[in-house]
Amino acid sequence: MMWYDGWGWGGWYVMAVVMVLFWGLIIVGVVALVRYLTSSHHSHPSGPQPPSSGESGQGSRRAEDVLAERFARGEIDEDEYQRRLKLLREHR
């Protein structure tokens, strides 16, 4: 006697495709969640916030701070630091 399930061999193919799609969506979802949780736009910045456009004088103060940090790290020498600091203060 022959067993008949109604779909024949086509049912096995449909089940295989659905199973692959299901596990593919699960894997893509997990990867997307991990990338979202570890991305930089999700975390709060640890440094000082850039000044808003309404604050006058704060932009040049922040520029001087960045310049001082670069000098402290050794990215620029003292002459370059003094020259740029003078330019910043002239254009206030």
The answer to whether residue 67 sits within a structural domain is: yes
- Is the model more confident about 57 or about 81? 81
pLDDT value of position 22? 98
The answer to whether residue 76 sits within a structural domain is: yes
8 Å CB contact between 88 and 63:
yes
Angle between helices 58-73 and 78-90 (to 10 degrees): 180
The answer to whether residue 74 sits within a structural domain is: yes
Mean pLDDT of the chain: 79
pLDDT, tens only, 46-75: 555 555 544 455 666 788 899 999 999 999
Q: Total domain count for the chain?
A: 1
Give the global pTM.
Answer: 0.39
3-state secondary structure of 30: helix
pLDDT value of position 53? 47
For residue 73, the enclosing domain spans: 58-90
